[in-house]
Structure 1
Amino acid sequence: MKKPVIGITTDVDSDRKHQLNTNYVTAVKRAGGLPLILPIGVEEDAKQVAHLIDGIILTGGGDIDPTLFDEEPHALLGEVSPTRDSLEIALAKEMLQANKPILGICRGLQILNVALGGAIIQDIHSQSANTILQHSQKATRSHQSHFVQVKKESILESIAETTKIKVNSFHHQAVKDVPKPLKISGTASDGIIEAVESTDHDFVLGVQWHPEALAEYGEVVSLRLFDKFVEKCKESRS
């Protein structure tokens, strides 16, 4: 049986060089998928790309242009990549329309939310009323730095097999308004949204942490997450 083809989005640095952490590729390969790295700049061909792949990982990275959700840039907004935003939003919309699996990771969760008409908090530390946890941890990427409360009867709970997990954390932005068909499936103790999933699609899940980094060190929930995602991608090609 052919392996499912998993598209993985990339970042571009200031020298216009594509960048991608290898552990995304490693996690997909270990779960039985065939990784296909997607370059920035092919948004006009998003429909064809969506036809070629069986599932997509919207990866982590920098900030999202706030004008995409009708806001002005906050003073603490970080570096944005308009070309990356355009591609990932186009791909997300095509994959949603085709009902093909999507796994959004960190920024990928946020871009999925924006693609569906939602907004994000541009800087949680200055724009949240609550006392905020350390969401940009100082520890290594393999360290699980805070807890996430998982909603019962969610896709995430079926993967985690528990309603409380520990995750790593590397973000200063977060999902704000969650549009239908997304629903919240995980939150941190400070109220920050840590996971969303679609109620209208076979498998659309976004997480605010980096399971690809945890999977590299054998963390069980992260391994199960990639296993379930790739399993759904196999189903989408049949």
Structure 2
Amino acid sequence: MQLLIGITPNMKDDQYNVAQIHSDIMEDLDAIPFILPYVEKEKTIDSVVTKLDGLYVTGGDDIDPTFFNEEPIEGLRYIIRKRDMFEQKLIQKMLQQNKPIFAICRGVQILNIATGGDMYQHIYGQIKKQLLQHEQCANRNHQSHFITIKEGTILYEMMQKKRMKVNSFHHQANRKVKQPMIVSATASDGIIEAIESTAHNFVVGVQWHPEFLYETDIGTRTLYKTFIKKCEERKRSSENRRHTL
């Protein structure tokens, strides 16, 4: 059973761009990676969701704060409103179909906005206490700071540990999370590092960049493999229902 996994790209100067590593990982897991353009029509997005077995929301630029009822503040960087609109609609429709979602870095933020949460536009300007360096100055596969994972969460079940090190490349972060999403991991300074849904098959978002740890970290490989496994289970269940009708 080969799965079709939708991958959301970033955009610069009207040109889509997405790191090759995302497609490589999906292919390594015997899934078909499919890069998704930013479409607007409701029926087009509905058709996309119907065809996808899972959604992989990648990192990228900042998110337009008007989507969570704020105006831009100093420290906000480049935004792509068209991407924000598309991904929110796509995520919401995937949730309605209970299809698996795995979101990373910027992806975990737009996942939270799509489910009613909000975020910091610039953590170093909005949080007064001393923070960790979340925009690390090191190789992309360097695990720069620790996170604490909450027991009983999907993330904990996959990682099988309460504390782990992650790489870190962000200046925005989630602030408030709305049910059915919950916080499943935090950094020592309180920054939210992972969220997940308590009402869906598999909806997990992480603030770090696991794609750069895939080759070296066993827990990261388990995270990706579990995502694909949940996509397989969802597809098989859907096919079985059709056969019984």
TM-score, normalization: structure 1?
Answer: 0.96
Instruction: Report deviation, 1:43.
Output: 5.2
Give the SS at the match of 1:176: strand
1:129 shift after superposition: 2.9
1:144-172 deviation per Cα after TM superposition (whole angstroms, max 9, x unaligned): 00111000011001111111111000000
Equivalent of 2:30 in 32, 39, 56: 32
Matches of 2:41 and 2:88, distance apart in 1: 9
Q: Counterpart amino acid of 1:195? A: A
Which residue is 1:67 aligned to? 66
Q: Give the aligned residue type for 1:29.
A: E
CA positional deviation for 1:28: 1.4
Secondary structure of the structure 1 residue equivalent to 2:213 = helix
Q: Given residue 189 of structure 2, which amino acid in structure 1 is its aligned partner?
A: D
The CA distance in 2 between the partners of 1:197 and 1:43, in whole Å, is: 28
Give me the whole-angstrom Cα distance separating, in 2, the residues matched to 1:190 and 1:27: 31
**Structural mapping, 1:24-173, within 5 Å:** 24-42=22-40, 44=42, 45-173=44-172
Deviation at 1:188, TM superposition (A): 0.2
How far the C-alpha of 1:39 sits from its partner, in A, is 1.2
Matched, 1:233 2:231: yes
Q: Distance in 1 between matches of 2:212 and 2:71?
A: 32
Normalized against structure 2, the TM-score is what? 0.94
Identity in percent: 44
Aligned partner of 2:206 in structure 1 is 207
Residue deviations 1:4-59 (CA, integer Å, cap 9, x gap): 11100011102x11100111111212223211111123553111111100100111
Unaligned runs of 5+ in 2: 237-245
Question: RMSD over aligned Cα, in angstroms?
Answer: 1.0
Unpaired runs of 5+ in structure 1?
A: none
Distance 1:41 1:141 in 2: 31
> Residues of 1 paired with 2:112 and 2:23: CA distance?
24
* Count of aligned positions: 235
Higher alpha-carbon Rg: 2
- What is the CA–CA distance in structure 2 between the aligned matches of 1:114 and 1:134, rounded to whole Å? 24
Change (3 A) 1:110 1:18: same
Q: Whose RCO is larger (CA < 8 A, sep 6+)?
A: 1
| Counterpart secondary structure, 1:130 | coil
Q: CA separation in 2, counterparts of 1:27 and 1:192? A: 27
Structure 2 distance, partners of 1:86, 1:63, is: 13
2:135 maps to amino acid: S
Q: State the partner residue of 2:18.
A: 20
Would you say the 8 A contact 2:39–2:45 is kept in 1? no
Q: State how far apart, in whole Å, the 2-side matches of 1:126 and 1:77 are.
A: 10
Conserved 8 A contact 2:194-2:206: yes
Distance (Å, rounded) in 1 between the aligned partners of 2:169 and 2:56: 17
Letter in 2 for 1:84: R
Following superposition, the deviation at residue 75 of structure 1 comes to 1.1
2:222 aligns with 224
The code of the aligned residue for 1:114 comes to I
1:140 Cα shift? Answer: 0.8
| Amino acid across the alignment from 2:95 | L
Kept in 2: contact 1:6–1:33 (CA 8 A): yes
